[in-house]
Amino acid sequence: MVTSAATTVLLSTKLHTRLVVYPLENKIAGARWPETLIWSAPAVIVGACVFVIATVIGIVAGLRGIELELLVRDPAASYKYPPYVGFFSHIGIVVMVSTASLTAFAAWMSITLGRGNTRVLAHVSVLSAVLAIDDIFMIHEQASRLGEVAIFAVYGLLALAIWRYLHRSSDRYDLRGLAAAIALLGFSVFVDVFRLHGPIAYWLEDFSKLSGFAAWLTFWAGYAQHTLNEA
């Protein structure tokens, strides 16, 4: 019989009930579990919070006449689309979410280690997350023509401000990758704003955006490693 990694004991008192995990050596992996309340684990806290928040959103949506199925099912399954519909768009979203996560973690490590450019990494993480959310929910498409241009202008100015900050800083990291990412994304916005149509327009706009996202991720992955390795 295999000895379990931990024994869970439920202790009832007059005041409250506590869930305590006692450490026992795992004979297979040789791992040990710390004696702690299971609810104090960060992963458990985050998982519980997400479950509660999702439940609240589902209830509020239901009160507004929105079926829960519409919020949880994939659009391709709901509307019988082929699974490859939106393939390149989905890849772009994954790339930007990856950038946001990577730079957020790097910013946290920068604070922990006491070195690295925390400010830039945090700003890039927020900007990447906003771009990913915009791409998922097509926020700029819901705005008027002038509003759409204004949204793109804000994104562009923020990206250029980050480039200018790095260019003027004492950290002489190679910025050609960042310039290429901004140029590709800028060209994609140009095609979108001027409403070009047809297969060539899709090719120019969406492939430029996907390539720009990939260059954006690659640059910031390299920069995060560079700035965290600085003495």
* Token output for 191: 């095609």
What 3-state DSSP class applies to 9?
A: strand
pTM for the model stands at 0.80
Q: In what order do the strands lie in the sheet with 17-23?
A: 6-12, 17-23, 36-37
Average pLDDT score over the chain:
84
Decide: 212 and 189 in contact? Cβ < 8 Å: no
Domain range annotation of the chain? 6-40, 42-72, 82-228
**pLDDT tens, position by position, 28-68:** 445 555 566 677 788 999 999 999 999 999 999 999 999 98
With a pLDDT cut of 90, the percent of the chain lying above it is 62
DSSP state of 114: T
**pLDDT tens, position by position, 101-146:** 999 999 999 999 999 999 999 999 999 999 999 999 999 888 888 9
